[in-house]
């Protein structure tokens, strides 16, 4: 669907506005998508970890639609084939997670795992374990919800599964996701003389180099797309692909772009909400990727950040997205268009993946080793 944007009018606009009013991001509805509406949409996108563009496209609309629902306003249950989606489901999942029930990620989708967690909760508080969340279950949740706050079991489980998978790259599956791709989505595009640099092409190049290096280290490597896909995949489709492959890790590659060409630097993102629920393994991978790149390349450190983007939220394995600099920055661009520099980035990401599986952080300083040295270090240990 075409994005709804500034200047648009009609019932769609007033519907968006009434949701924003309900969220206290906008004062009144007006039927015209004006500046105030755009500001409210941007604030909403920021609060939900959606790309901030002030447009209401598919992802933003789904988040807005789901935001109407406050926990307790409707009965929640596992509906097939179309699962219930909404902010109320996310609140329920976060509450259950805090209490130690395994709902999987708080992805706002009432799926099988959420229904099982609800049934387990119901059993333990003496209700009929039907897996749906009606008035009685809500009452029990309200009664207990704030008293029991503990470990974050999903992340402990994720960490444990990761630990059990062993310190070895051989046989592990990694998905590399070059961002964008497809004739109408090239990501950030910067013309330079007769040339035209695109985020989609540069990231495919990095992905292909990385594929070779990771495969040589014994990993099974999958790319989410080829160099010139027929159409652009959504974040959800990329996540589903990685889930269906049973991947152990996913690394998504992007570049940043801003009108202000003085902005430069590298940033890495992992799954997490503002409420402190985060993928600890994802956060660790983000830290490693960010540090290796910054130390090895000297790019500006724009740090790591928790986001709830589709790709981070819907994947079942530790997932990070790294923005490898600003294509709009002459400083970053000069380096990014150099294949030798991209090779350096590949080396850094490879080292970060190695460090995920080989706990040598205290022994070997960041940026100082290559993979062969790392293997040697390990071989020398008792
Ligand atoms: Zn991008």
Alpha-carbon distance 189 to 80, whole Å?
Answer: 41
Report the pLDDT value the prediction gives residue 362, as an integer from 0 to 100.
Answer: 43
**Cα separation, 35 vs 195, whole angstroms:** 36
Output the CA 167–ligand 1 centroid distance in Å.
32
Q: Strands across the sheet with 266-271, in order?
A: 220-223, 173-178, 249-256, 319-326, 266-271, 301-307
> Separation of 202 CA from ligand 1 center, angstroms?
11
Question: 365 CA distance to ligand 1 centroid (A)?
Answer: 30
What pLDDT sits at residue 300?
96
For residues 50 and 70, give the distance between their C-alpha atoms in angstroms, rounded to a whole number. Answer: 20
The strand pairing partners of 307, in sequence order, are 271
DSSP 195: E
Assigned token pair, 244: 């269906």
Collapsed DSSP state (helix, strand, coil) of residue 166 = coil
**Separation of CA 32 and ligand 1 centre (Å):** 30
DSSP secondary structure letter of residue 102: -
For tokens 């020398």, name the residue. Answer: 380
Coil, strand, or helix at residue 283? Answer: helix
pLDDT at position 52 is: 87
Ligand 1 centre from 185 Cα, in Å?
9
Question: With contact defined as beta carbons under 8 Å apart, do 100 and 150 qualify?
Answer: yes
Measured in angstroms, how far is the CA atom of residue 380 from the centroid of ligand 1?
A: 41
Q: pLDDT at position 215, please?
A: 92
| Alpha carbon of 253 to ligand 1 centroid (Å) | 8
The alpha carbon of 242 and the centre of ligand 1 are apart by a number of angstroms equal to 18
Measured between its terminal Cα atoms, the distance across the chain in Å is: 60
Distance from Cα 187 to the centre of ligand 1, integer Å: 5
Residue with tokens 């950040």: 305
Tell me how far the alpha carbon of residue 258 lies from the centroid of ligand 1, in angstroms: 12
> Which pair of structure tokens corresponds to residue 276?
């402190």
The whole model's pTM is what?
0.62
In this prediction, residue 271 carries a pLDDT of 86
Q: What is the pLDDT along the chain (382 residues), one digit of tens a residue?
A: 679 999 999 888 999 999 998 888 898 888 899 999 999 999 888 877 788 899 999 889 988 888 888 888 889 999 888 888 888 898 898 888 777 677 888 888 899 999 999 998 888 777 888 999 998 898 888 776 544 443 445 555 666 677 777 777 888 999 999 999 988 899 999 998 888 999 999 999 999 999 999 998 889 999 999 999 989 999 989 999 999 999 999 999 999 999 999 999 999 999 886 555 667 788 889 999 999 999 999 999 999 998 888 898 888 888 999 999 999 999 999 999 999 999 999 999 999 998 888 765 444 455 544 555 555 555 565 4
Residue 170 CA to ligand 1 center (angstroms) comes to 30
Q: In angstroms, how far is CA 31 from the centroid of its own chain?
A: 33
Alpha carbon of 267 to ligand 1 centroid (Å): 12
């Amino acid at each position: 669907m075409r994005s709804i944007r500034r200047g648009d009018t009609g019932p769609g606009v007033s519907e968006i506005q009434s949701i924003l009013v309900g969220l206290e991001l906008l004062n009144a509805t007006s039927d015209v998508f004006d500046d105030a509406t755009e500001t409210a949409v941007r604030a909403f996108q920021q609060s939900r970890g959606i790309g901030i563009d002030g447009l209401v496209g598919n992802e933003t609309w789904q988040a807005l639609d789901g935001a109407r629902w406050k926990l307790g306003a409707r009965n929640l249950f596992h509906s097939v084939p179309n699962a219930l989606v909404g902010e109320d489901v996310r609140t329920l999942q976060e509450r259950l997670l805090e209490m130690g029930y395994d709902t999987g990620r708080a992805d706002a989708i009432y799926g099988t795992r959420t229904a099982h967690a609800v049934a387990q909760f119901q059993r333990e508080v003496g209700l009929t374990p039907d897996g749906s969340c009606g008035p009685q279950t809500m009452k029990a949740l309200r009664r207990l919800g704030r008293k029991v706050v503990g470990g974050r079991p999903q992340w402990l489980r994720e960490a444990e599964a990761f630990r059990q998978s062993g310190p070895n790259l051989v046989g592990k599956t990694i998905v590399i996701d070059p961002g964008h791709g497809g004739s109408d989505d090239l990501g950030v595009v910067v013309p330079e003389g007769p040339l035209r640099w695109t985020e989609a092409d540069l990231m495919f190049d990095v992905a292909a180099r990385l594929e070779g290096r990771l495969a040589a280290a014994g990993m099974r490597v999958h790319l989410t797309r080829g160099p010139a896909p027929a159409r652009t995949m959504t974040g959800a489709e990329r996540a589903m692909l990685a889930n269906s492959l049973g991947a152990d890790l996913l690394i998504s590659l992007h570049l940043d772009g801003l009108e202000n060409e003085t902005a430069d630097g590298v940033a890495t993102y992992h799954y997490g909400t503002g409420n402190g629920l985060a993928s600890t393994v994802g956060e660790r991978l983000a830290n490693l990727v960010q540090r290796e790149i910054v130390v090895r390349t000297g790019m500006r450190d724009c740090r790591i950040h928790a986001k709830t983007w589709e790709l981070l939220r819907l994947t079942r394995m530790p997932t990070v997205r790294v923005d490898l600099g600003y294509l709009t920055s002459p400083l970053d661009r000069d380096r990014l268009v150099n294949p030798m520099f991209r090779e350096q980035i590949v080396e850094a990401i490879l080292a970060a993946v190695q460090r995920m599986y080989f706990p040598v952080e205290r022994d070997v300083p960041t940026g100082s080793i290559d993979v062969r040295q790392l293997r040697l270090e390990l071989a020398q240990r008792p």
